[in-house]
Structure 1
Amino acid sequence: MAGGNTEEESFVNPLGRCSIFYYGVGHMLNDITSACWFTYLLVFLTDIGLPPSDAAIVMLSGQIADGFTTIFAGELIDRYGHFKLWHCAGSILVAVSFSSVFGGCLPCKIIGSSSLSFETMSYSFFAAVFNVGWAATQVSHMSMVNCITLNSTSRAVLASCRNAFTMLANLSLYVVAFVVFNIDTIRSGINVENQYRWIAFLSIFIGCCFVGIFHFGTEEPRLKREAREKGHARVSWAHWFNKVLYYQVALVYVLTRLVTNVSQAFLAFFVINDLKMIQSSKAVVPAVIYISSFLISVLLQEITWTGQRSRVLYSAGGLLWIISGAGILFLPSSMSSFIYILSVVIGVANALMMVSGVSMQSFLVGRDLNGCAFVYGSLSFMDKILCGLALCILESYQSSTPGVSNDYHPSFQFSVTRYGLGLFPAICSLAGVLVTLCMKLPDPSFTPLSDMLLA
C-alpha cells in the first residue's frame, strides 16, 4: 500500500521541464499543416480557378472526415490505449497526404482531365485523407495530457507549452510563406501551384523533425496502462452526457475553435481584397498574431491554474476579441496599417482563450482517465463539423454577395470577409464568455507547480 501511495504521489508531483518540452513539440506537424490549411486552402483553390463554392466543398469534406475520425479514434484509444502508436500513424498519414492537397491535382494530370467537378472531387479526397491522419494525431496527443500527470497545474502547463509551440509552428509557416511569396511574385496558375507546393513540402519537413523529437523524448503514459491493469472500468459515454459541465466545456471549446479557425481562414482574403495590401502581407499579418500569441502562451506557463483563474482569463480573451472584431468590421483600406495593432490584440486574445479553454477540459476529465479520449474526441468532432459548415456557408455567400459600399468612405465596404473575420468571431467570443460565467469548475486538489517551466 505504501508503494502504491508513493507511486500515486509521483504522478501528483510537478513535471520537469524536459517532459513538458518533449510533449509540447508533439503537435508541431499538425499545427503547421493546420495553419496552412485554414490560412491558405481557400485562397489557393480560388487562385487556381476553382469557384468559391467548390473550394468550400473541399474544405467541408476535410472537416467532416476529421470530425468522424475524432470519435472513432477517441473510442479506440479509450479501449486500448497506445497513444504514441496512434500519434505516429496519424503523423505519417498527414505527411504523405498533405503535399497532395497543395501539390496540384495529380489525378487530373494522370487521366488528362480538366473538369472542375473531377478536380473538386480529387482535392476533396486528399483533404479527407489528410484530416483522418490529422484527427488521429490530435486526439492521441491532447488526451495524453491527463494520463501523463495528475497535477492540475502541470496539465495546464502542458497545454500552455503545446499552445506555445502551436504559435511557433504557425510562425514557421508564415516565415516560409513570406520567403516563397517574395521569391516568386508572378501570379500565373503554374507559379501559384509551385508556390504552395514548396510551402507544403517545407512545412512537412519542419513538422516531421519535431515529431521525431516528441517520440524520442516522450514515453507511453503509464497512468492509462495502470488503470487498465488494475481493472478500472472504462467510463461510459452516459457518464459525460449526464454532466452539465461537459456541455458547458464543449460549448466553450467549440466556440473558441470557431473564433480561431474561421478568422484564420478569412484573414488572407481580408488583407488582400478588403485592405488592398501587398501579397506578402498575407504572411506578415498572421505572423504578428502568432508572435503575440506565442509570448502570451509562454507567460501563461508561469502561473498556478485554478478553475476561477481559467474562467477569468478566458473572459478577458473573449472581450479582447469582441473589441478586435468591431475594429475589423469598420477598418477602411486607407487605414490598413492599423491591422497590425489589431493583430497584436487578436494574438493575445487567441492565446488566452485557447489555453484556458483547453485547461477547462482537464478540469472536466479530472481522474476519469478511461474516458478522457472520448471527451477530446467528441469535442473535436463538434468543432470540426461546425467549423466546416460555418466556412462553407460564409464562403458560398462570398461568391454571390457583393460588398455593401459606404458613400461617405469609398475606401470601406461591408463584405462577407469582414463578417467572417470580425463579426462572426466577436459573436462567438461573446457567447463563450457568457457560458464561462455560468460555469462551475472544480478547484484542483493537487500540489501546484513549484518549479516553473521558464524560471
Structure 2
Amino acid sequence: MESGGGGDADADFDAPSSKALARKEIVAYGIGHMLNDLTAACWFTYLLIYLTDVGLTPREAALVMLCGQVSDGLATVAAGYMIDLFGGFKIWHGGGSLLVSISFSSVFGGCSVCVITGNKTLLVETLGYSVFAAIFNIGWAATQVSHMSLVNCITANPTSRVALNSCRNAFTMVANLLLYGIAFLVFTFKSNDNVERQYRWIASANVAIGGFFVLIFLLSVKEPRLQHHFQPKLYTKISFVSWFRKILYYQVALVYTLTRLTTNVSQALLAFYLIDDLYMVESSKAVVPAVIYMSSFFTSIWLQECHWTSFRLKAAFTTGASLWLFCGVGFFYLSSSFQLYIYPLALVVGTGNALMLVTATSMEGLLVGHSLSGCAFVYGSLSLCDKLACGFALYAIEALHGTETPAFCLLNGRCSVSLVRRVLALVPGGCAVAAAVIALTAKFERRGENDPLREELLLPQAQSSSSSTTTTSEIIEIPSPGRDPEAPLWTKMAHTMVGRWGSLREPKAPWLDTP
C-alpha cells in the first residue's frame, strides 16, 4: 500500500488482474448477452411482418422500426458516455435487460397501450408500438455497451480478453439458432393459433430463457471497483473533429453503412418474400433465416484461417458484393414453382453477408489504427449512421407498399412483380456494388511491404507492456486463435461478425494493456 493520503483510497480499488480467467468465469460472462441476442434476432427477422399481420399498414410498421433504430443509435452513444463517466457496468446491464424484457414482451405480446386506454385505433396502435420499440432499443443499447465494456475491467490478460469476446460470439450463435428453433416449433405446432398468440409464445420463450442467463451472469460475474478512467495519462486525447478531415473516414463510413443496408434490408423483407411471393409454409420463416445464419457463421470461421492483407481484404469484400448481385437475380426470377431453390440461394446469401460484414468491420479497425482515444467516436458514429440509414430505408420501402404504379414496371412489361421482390433484387445488390467500388478506392495505411493484418491483442503481456511507444513495425505476428487447431471452439469463433447487427469490435493494440 502506498503511503500518504491517497493510499487508503487506492486500496479500495481493484486493478484488473493479468492472471488468466477460469473457464467457468469466461462462460459466465459469455451468457450475459443471450437476452439481447435472442430479442435482436427476433426483432429484425419478424417485427415488420408481425406488425402488418396484426393490422398496421406497412408504413406504420416501418415507422415503429424507425423509432427503434433512431433510439438505438442515440442511446448507444449516450450509454457509452454515461458508463465511462459513472461506471456501474452491472447496474446498467441489469437495468437495460429489465427494459428489454418488459418492452419486448409489450411489442410482441400485443398493443399494451390499446388495452390500457381501451382504444384500438391505428394511431394509438402505432404510438403504443413506437414507444415500446424506443424503450426496447434504449435498454438494448445499455445492455450491449455495458457488457462489452466490462471485458477490460474483468481482466488485463490479453488471451482472456480474446476468450471473453469469443465466448460471447459463441453464445450469439446459440441464441440465433435457439430463436429460429423456437419459431419453427411455434409456427409448426401452433399454426392454428392467431398471429398475436404465436408471437406471444415466441416472445415469452425468448424473455424467459434470456432472463435466466442474465440472472446467472449478474450473480456470477464480479465487477471490480476501478478508479475512474483507468487509463495511462501518457495518451493524448484526439478531438473528434479531426476525423472529419480524413477522407478515409467518409469512405469507411459509407462502406460500413451500405454493408449494413445490404444485410438488414434483406433480412427484414425476407419473411414477406417467403410467404407472399413464394407461398411457402409458415415454418419457412424460421428455417430459411437459420440456413443463412449458419452459412454466414461457418464462412466467418473460415475467414479467420486467412492471412489478411489490405488487398485480400478488398478482394474478399468485392467477392461478397458479387455474390449479392447473383442473389439479387435469383430473388427476382425465383418463382413459387421452384421455391425449394431458396435454400441453396440462402447459402449464397449467408456467404456473401459474412464476406462483407467481416471485411467491412475490419476496415473500421484499419481506420482507427493507433488513434485509440478516438476509437469510441468512430465506432459510435458509424453505428449511428448504420442505424439511421437502415431505419429510414426500411420506412421508405414500406411506405411504397401497395402503390403499384407504372413507375415500377420493367422494360419487358412485367408490372405484376411485387415491391418486395423488386427491393430484394435491386437494393441489397445495388448497395453491395456501391460499397465495393468505394472500398476499392480507399487507401489504407501501409504497414510495410506486403505486411499482413495482425492479431496484436494476442501479444504476450510482458512484451505489450515493455514500451509505451511500440510501433507497428515492431509488432511480431502471433497466430490467430482461429488457426490454432488446439484452440477451444469458442476461441475459433472469436472474430465472427454474425449475430447482432451493428455490434462493435474492440481495437487490437498491445498498449491497451499497459499497466
1:291-349 deviations in Å (ceiling 9; x for gaps) = 21222233334445544443332222222122111211221121111111110111111
CA contact (8 A) 2:85 2:228 kept: no
Report the 3-state secondary structure (helix = DSSP H, G, I; strand = E; otherwise coil) of the residue aligned with 2:400: helix
Partner of 1:282: 285
Partner of 2:335: 332
Flag the 1:118–1:36 CA change in 2: closer, same or farther, 3 A: same
1:113-262 maps to which residues of 2 (within 5 A)? 113-141=119-147, 165-186=171-192, 191-211=194-214, 216=220, 225-227=229-231, 230=233, 232-262=235-265
Measured on the aligned residues, the alpha-carbon RMSD in Å equals 3.7
CA contact (8 A) 2:154 2:222 kept: no
CA contact (8 A) 1:159 1:359 kept: no
CA contact (8 A) 2:72 2:134 kept: yes
Q: Larger radius of gyration, structure 1 or 2?
A: 2
1:34-73 maps to which residues of 2 (within 5 A)? 34-73=40-79
Partner of 1:424: 427
- 1:28 to 2:34 alignment: yes
Structure 2, unmatched stretches of 5+, are 1-16, 446-452, 455-471, 493-515
- Tell me the amino acid that sits aligned with residue 52 of structure 2: T
Partner of 1:295: 298
* Aligned-partner Cα distance in 1 for 2:154–2:313: 21
Partner of 1:4: none
* Aligned-partner Cα distance in 1 for 2:259–2:150: 21
CA contact (8 A) 1:252 1:435 kept: yes
CA contact (8 A) 1:29 1:206 kept: yes
1:308-327 maps to which residues of 2 (within 5 A)? 308-327=311-330
* Aligned-partner Cα distance in 2 for 1:67–1:27: 18
Structure 1 window deviating more from structure 2 (230-239 vs 213-222): it is 213-222
* Aligned-partner Cα distance in 2 for 1:310–1:136: 32
Q: TM-score normalised to the size of structure 1?
A: 0.83
Higher relative contact order (CA 8 A, sep 6+): 1
- 1:272 to 2:275 alignment: yes
Flag the 1:224–1:368 CA change in 2: closer, same or farther, 3 A: farther
Partner of 2:479: 449
CA contact (8 A) 1:168 1:290 kept: no
Structure 1 window deviating more from structure 2 (191-200 vs 80-89): it is 80-89
CA contact (8 A) 1:159 1:358 kept: no
* Aligned-partner Cα distance in 2 for 1:357–1:224: 33
* Aligned-partner Cα distance in 2 for 1:152–1:428: 37
- Tell me the amino acid that sits aligned with residue 116 of structure 1: L
Q: Compare the two structures and name the one with the higher helix fraction.
A: 1
1:3-22 maps to which residues of 2 (within 5 A)? none
- 1:95 to 2:125 alignment: no
Flag the 1:156–1:354 CA change in 2: closer, same or farther, 3 A: farther
CA contact (8 A) 2:106 2:132 kept: yes
* Aligned-partner Cα distance in 1 for 2:308–2:222: 24
Query: How many residue pairs were aligned?
Result: 440
Report the 3-state secondary structure (helix = DSSP H, G, I; strand = E; otherwise coil) of the residue aligned with 1:176: helix
* Aligned-partner Cα distance in 1 for 2:284–2:183: 10
Flag the 1:342–1:408 CA change in 2: closer, same or farther, 3 A: same
CA contact (8 A) 2:84 2:229 kept: no
- Tell me the amino acid that sits aligned with residue 336 of structure 2: S
Structure 1 window deviating more from structure 2 (315-324 vs 172-181): it is 315-324
Shift of 1:389: 0.6
1:335-374 maps to which residues of 2 (within 5 A)? 335-374=338-377
Q: Percent identity?
A: 52
CA contact (8 A) 1:160 1:297 kept: no
Shift of 1:270: 0.1
Shift of 1:177: 0.6
Flag the 1:153–1:346 CA change in 2: closer, same or farther, 3 A: farther
1:339-362 deviations in Å (ceiling 9; x for gaps) = 111101111111222222222222
* Aligned-partner Cα distance in 1 for 2:258–2:382: 11
- Tell me the amino acid that sits aligned with residue 479 of structure 2: L
Partner of 1:382: 385
Shift of 1:386: 0.9
CA contact (8 A) 2:179 2:206 kept: yes
Structure 1 window deviating more from structure 2 (263-272 vs 202-211): it is 202-211
Structure 1, unmatched stretches of 5+, are 1-9
Shift of 1:56: 1.5
Q: TM-score normalised to the size of structure 2?
A: 0.74
- Tell me the amino acid that sits aligned with residue 196 of structure 1: Y
Shift of 1:384: 1.0
